[in-house]
Structure 1
Amino acid sequence: MAKFLNTSATNYFLEELIKNARDRLILISPFLKLSDRIKELLEDKNRLKIDVRIVYGKSELLPEEINWLNNLSYIRTSFCKNLHAKCYLNEELCIVTSLNLYEFSQINNNEMGVLMTRTEDNEIFMEAYEEAQRIIRISEEVRVSLERVDQKNEPEENTKGKLTTSKLAKKLGKSTDELLEALVQKGHLKRYGDKVELTDSGKALGASHIKKSRFGSYFIWPEDCHLD
């Protein structure tokens, strides 16, 4: 039987919904702005290789949060124009609510929601699930930088023995931003405003620029690459 949720109950069941997702998680919210607790839970889902889809209408992430999100391989983001719905689902639970995913809403606002389960509220649960799927279908899968993700005609690139920038940074004990800056200083990358491009030096090093993929564009580097 569907259950009414007040502010604190909505927060509680939203956390439980995310924590207990075993195969998939759908988060639909107008604003892509995440509380620290939600980020922590999403990182755990990514480690467990759970398929997570976030649909949003407007991004309010800071640059460092964008880098953080783009490094989570199992979390996909989609942009939906004129989105105002707030709906959160896993395989068993669905919450339709006024609650956003950011901290101010979770702490300061008076919110309401309704909790449904697939077992006890199957008909309404499936209606909400189908509507969530429709919203995903009409959305455009993007990186948070709003570069379109083109899933067609992806180039075949030999990535054997190569690491993404974030994985290479982890191997070298640096943050991704620190490694990017070091690569710019070495002349392997060149900055153009807020973008970076691979130079001839970087190509000679064995690096490649993957321009089209499920996760947007990124650089790959030889796994034995060092900055000495």
Structure 2
Amino acid sequence: MAKFLNTSATNYYLEELIKNASDRLILISPYLKLNDRIKELLEDKNRLKIDVRIVYGKSELQPSEISWLNELSFVRTSFCKNLHAKCYLNENSCIITSLNLYEFSQVNNNEMGIHISRIDDCDMYRDTFEEAQRIIRISDEVRVTLEKIIIPNSKKETQELTGKQEKVTSSKLAKTLKLSTSELLDKLIKIGYVAEVDQKQVLTQKGVEMGGEAKTGRFGDYFIWPEDIII
């Protein structure tokens, strides 16, 4: 079940969450301001080629920090207007807290938070991940520069800057998850990404919000999904 965190526990679990990320890391915090420990941890994730996404509402980086950030090819940043949420996730757990990213490892403030395990609290983790994905979708992926923040003004430019992840068919996703295609579709129906209407499987709005797409090909209709979708 979810674990309550006080100030020191929040700092500890946040560091462990970043250190233990082996597939993905999402850091959502209103302020883009990084201390030395966070930089060290992000550099390590970059060396391991871990996909890191930072979402922020205001940048307080110094010129030297901007240069440093631009050297991390696996760290992507997104700007979200009116962002106030503080949420940190990897592929196994997440933390929802009052702690801003720039306050990490500091003890000046009294903070609280909760730690959620994907194994122990699967539904709560999924709901948190879906909301984090929604925040990412409504954000503008940006490249931070010394002069200004450059916001890509076209889909093509965004792909050039970030290397957009390709989506996979249900059969390929099922193979990755070591399921049969029918077992995967049963799970997708159970969690509400797909629905059966008039003996036909259709994509739901929830499925669309999670990145699913309905396609029509040579052999009929099919779905494609982000490779990192939470099932």
- Give the TM-score normalised by structure 1: 0.66
Aligned to 1:221: none
Greater Rg over alpha carbons, structure: 1
Aligned to 2:151: 148
Asked if residue 86 in structure 1 is aligned to residue 33 in structure 2, the reply is no
The alignment's C-alpha RMSD in Å is: 2.0
Task: Indicate conservation of the 8 Å contact 1:77/1:142, yes or no.
Answer: yes
- Three-state SS of the structure 1 residue aligned to 2:116 is strand
Task: Indicate conservation of the 8 Å contact 2:66/2:144, yes or no.
Answer: yes
- Give the TM-score normalised by structure 2: 0.66
Cα offset, 1:59, TM superposition: 0.2
Aligned to 1:206: none
Aligned to 1:10: 10
Q: Distance in 1 between matches of 2:60 and 2:74?
A: 21
Aligned to 1:214: 161
Q: Distance in 1 between matches of 2:51 and 2:159?
A: 20
Q: How does 1:1-228 map to 2 (within 5 A)?
A: 1-103=1-103, 106-145=106-145, 146-149=149-152, 152-153=155-156, 213-214=160-161
Q: Distance in 1 between matches of 2:120 and 2:14?
A: 18
Deviations 1:11-61 (A, max 9, x none): 000000000001000000000001110110000000000000000000000
Cα offset, 1:149, TM superposition: 3.0
Distance 1:104 1:152, change over 3 A: closer
Cα offset, 1:103, TM superposition: 4.1
Identity %: 74
Q: Which blocks of at least 5 consecutive residues in structure 1 are unaligned? A: 155-210, 217-228
Q: Which blocks of at least 5 consecutive residues in structure 2 are unaligned? A: 164-231
Instruction: Give the residue type in structure 2 aligned to 1:37.
Output: R
- Three-state SS of the structure 1 residue aligned to 2:144 is coil
Deviations 1:66-89 (A, max 9, x none): 110011000000000000000000
Q: Distance in 2 between matches of 1:149 and 1:5?
A: 38
Q: Distance in 2 between matches of 1:214 and 1:92?
A: 28
